[in-house]
């Protein structure tokens, strides 16, 4: 999986667990630039929650699953793998895209999906090289001064994903990770990683920076769903995610997708 080298580098290996490394690798993979032109519908099947479509990428293996109310017409147009924006006055953006999709992985190769990266949407993501010309973000508010600044902010918008890992193959997520953001600037970097099997709230959450280094524990913040640490903060999905792996796995079985169909 792309990004594994990042997670397994000697400088960081001692700081994160193998579960965390898997989550970081999936996050790095989800952040890869990909082209919709390579997408191909493999199979779709009706479920209680809607229609689940399995879509292959350029390698021919299942890249992602999309959930939609109606059958997708053309996955190359209905699914956007990176954010798109229109400039003011340049007309409306196409509105056919579905944002309900997740990258899928079978990390241990046993034929059952055990990692997912669910699309949240475009997030203002700190560039690799710190750009002092980017404005601070307070909550969801940012003061844009001029077209140049607007262009820099748009360029820094990246898709954010929440990650889920099923470590014991029971269909329920065990590790979940949400994008974190810097307290001082409001820009996203790194993740808050939750272990749902931890017995205390304090033990359940920790921040990992995007270079794989541990950034300490996170504590519940002032509002429900807010967690904060020394320099990072995150708003997490506190609702029980339920057996999401089982639901997608059942759909994969209905589509007769075996172990060889999935990426590891
Ligand atoms: Ca598996
Ligand atoms: Ca599980």
pLDDT in tens, 101-122: 999 999 999 999 999 999 999 9
Contact 232, 192 (CB under 8 A): yes
Question: What one-character-per-residue DSSP string does 162-213 give?
Answer: EEEE-SSSSSS-SEEEEEEEETTT--EEEEEEEETT-SSHHHHEEEE-TTS-
User: Residue 154: phi, psi to the nearest 5?
Assistant: -60, -40
pLDDT in tens, 196-249: 887 666 668 899 998 888 899 999 888 888 899 999 999 887 667 888 999 999
Q: What is the mean pLDDT of the chain?
A: 87
Judged by DSSP in three states, 8 sits in: helix
Judged by DSSP in three states, 4 sits in: helix
Could you tell me what percentage of the chain is helix, strand and coil, using 3-state DSSP and rounding each to the nearest 5?
Answer: 20, 30, 45
Q: What is the mean pLDDT of residues 153-173?
A: 93
Please tell me the distance from the alpha carbon of residue 163 to that of residue 58, in angstroms, as a whole number.
Answer: 22
Q: Count the helices and strands in the chain (H runs, E runs).
A: 7, 15
Please tell me the distance from the alpha carbon of residue 72 to that of residue 97, in angstroms, as a whole number.
Answer: 9
In this predicted structure, the answer to whether residue 87 has a pLDDT above a threshold of 80 is no
Please tell me the distance from the alpha carbon of residue 116 to that of residue 33, in angstroms, as a whole number.
Answer: 17
Q: What is the pLDDT of residue 6?
A: 41
Q: What is the pLDDT of residue 85?
A: 82
Q: What is the pLDDT of residue 11?
A: 43
In this predicted structure, the answer to whether residue 21 has a pLDDT above a threshold of 70 is yes
Q: What is the pLDDT of residue 212?
A: 84
Residue predicted with more confidence, 91 or 217: 217
What is the distance in A from the centroid of ligand 1 to the CA of 262?
9
In this predicted structure, the answer to whether residue 8 has a pLDDT above a threshold of 90 is no
Number of domains making up the chain: 1
Note down the domain range covering 114.
4-261
Q: What is the pLDDT of residue 5?
A: 39
What is the distance in A from the centroid of ligand 2 to the CA of 164?
10
Judged by DSSP in three states, 161 sits in: strand
Residue predicted with more confidence, 229 or 87: 229
Q: What is the pLDDT of residue 224?
A: 85
What is the distance in A from the centroid of ligand 1 to the CA of 75?
25
State the Rg of the chain over Cα.
Answer: 19
What is the distance in A from the centroid of ligand 1 to the CA of 210?
25
Taking alpha carbons only, the member of 9, 28, 22, 20 closest to residue 193 is 20
In this predicted structure, the answer to whether residue 9 has a pLDDT above a threshold of 80 is no
What residues have a C-beta under 5 A from ligand 2, the ion? 166, 168, 170, 172, 174
Please tell me the distance from the alpha carbon of residue 207 to that of residue 193, in angstroms, as a whole number.
Answer: 6
Q: Which range is least confidently modeled, 24-33, 84-93, 138-147, 186-195?
A: 84-93
In this predicted structure, the answer to whether residue 4 has a pLDDT above a threshold of 70 is no
């Amino acid at each position: 999986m792309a990004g594994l080298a990042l997670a397994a580098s000697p400088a960081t290996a001692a700081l994160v667990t193998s579960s965390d490394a898997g989550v970081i690798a999936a996050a790095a993979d989800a952040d890869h630039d990909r082209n919709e032109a390579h997408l191909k519908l493999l199979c779709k099947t009706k479920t209680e929650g809607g229609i689940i479509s399995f879509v292959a990428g350029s390698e021919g293996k299942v890249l992602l699953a999309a959930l939609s109310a109606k059958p997708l017409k053309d996955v190359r147009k209905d699914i956007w793998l990176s954010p798109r924006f229109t400039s003011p006055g340049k007309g409306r953006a196409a509105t056919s895209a579905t944002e309900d999709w997740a990258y899928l992985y079978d990390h241990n190769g046993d034929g059952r999906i055990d990692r997912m990266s669910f699309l949240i949407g475009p997030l203002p993501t700190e560039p690799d090289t710190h750009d002092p010309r980017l404005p601070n973000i307070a909550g969801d508010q940012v003061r844009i001064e001029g077209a140049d600044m607007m262009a820099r902010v748009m360029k820094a918008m990246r898709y954010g994903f929440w990650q889920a890992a099923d470590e014991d193959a029971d269909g329920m997520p065990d590790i979940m990770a949400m994008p974190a953001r810097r307290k001082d600037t409001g820009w996203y970097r790194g993740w808050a990683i939750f272990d749902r099997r931890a017995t205390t709230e304090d033990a359940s959450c920790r921040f990992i920076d995007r270079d794989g280094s541990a950034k300490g524990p996170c504590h519940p913040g002032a509002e429900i769903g807010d967690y904060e640490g020394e320099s990072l903060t995150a708003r997490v999905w506190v609702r029980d995610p339920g057996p999401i792996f089982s639901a997608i796995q059942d759909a994969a079985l209905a589509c007769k997708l075996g172990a060889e169909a999935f990426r590891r």
